[in-house]
Amino acid sequence: MFVVYSDSFEIVATIIGPEQTYGDILDREGKKWKFYTESVSVNPITDCIDPTSLDIVKKQEMALTVDKASIKADGADAVTIAGVPAGAALAITRTAPVADETITDGQVEFATTTTGTYTFLFTLPRYLPKTITVDAQ
């Protein structure tokens, strides 16, 4: 079985059946892959490739901390979400997308003057997606 993965070690495909020499074709296509002679269980949603050993491992939980679940919609009161892994993508939505960002410094501060429920979705290939909801009143 071949496991094909991206530059960020996210599993993008599994191929069952061909001989190990099929790796030559994957190489010519510029794909990153690992061949397993034994049967392995792979779930691209919960698994990824370890960048050091190239073994299949479980994605980690993001250990985020949130200082409050609701804020005043006054533009000054802010929620702080810390512990964000560097490179994580963040999508903020209310009834429509509000912002898309890549986090580089490990935390997010958010304030607004518009009331509503805001959903923060954090994604990074070696981590399970994490959703946080904040109410602005």
Under DSSP, is residue 98 helix (H, G, I), strand (E, B) or coil? strand
Q: Please state the domain count of the chain.
A: 2
Q: Are residues 125 and 80 in the same domain?
A: yes
The pLDDT of residue 40 is 86
The phi, psi pair for 92, rounded to 5°, reads: -110, 130
The CATH code of the domain that includes 84 is 2.60.40.10
Band (65; pLDDT cuts 50, 70, 90): very high
Are 48 and 90 part of one and the same domain? no
Length of the chain: 137
Q: Which residue has the higher pLDDT, 20 or 128?
A: 128
Tracing tokens 């779930």 back to the chain, one arrives at: 43
> What pTM, to 2 d.p., does this model score?
0.82
pLDDT digits (tens, 9 = 90+) for 22-51: 999 999 999 999 998 887 899 999 999 999
- pLDDT (0 to 100) of residue 17: 84
- Do the beta carbons of residue 34 and residue 5 sit within 8 Å? yes
- Of all residues in the chain, what percent carry a pLDDT higher than 70? 100
Which domain range does residue 39 map to?
2-58
37 and 21, same structural domain? yes
The verdict on 69 and 48 lying in the same domain is no
pLDDT one-digit tens code per residue, 100-137 = 999 999 999 999 999 999 999 999 999 999 999 999 99
Give the CA dihedral 33, 34, 37, 41, nearest 10 degrees: -90
Compute the distance between CA of residue 90 and CA of residue 88 in angstroms, rounded to an integer: 6
Q: In degrees rounded to 5, what are phi and psi of residue 96?
A: -145, 165
Please indicate, yes or no, whether residues 32 and 70 belong to a single structural domain of this protein. Answer: no
Contacts of 17 (CB under 8 A, 6+ apart): none
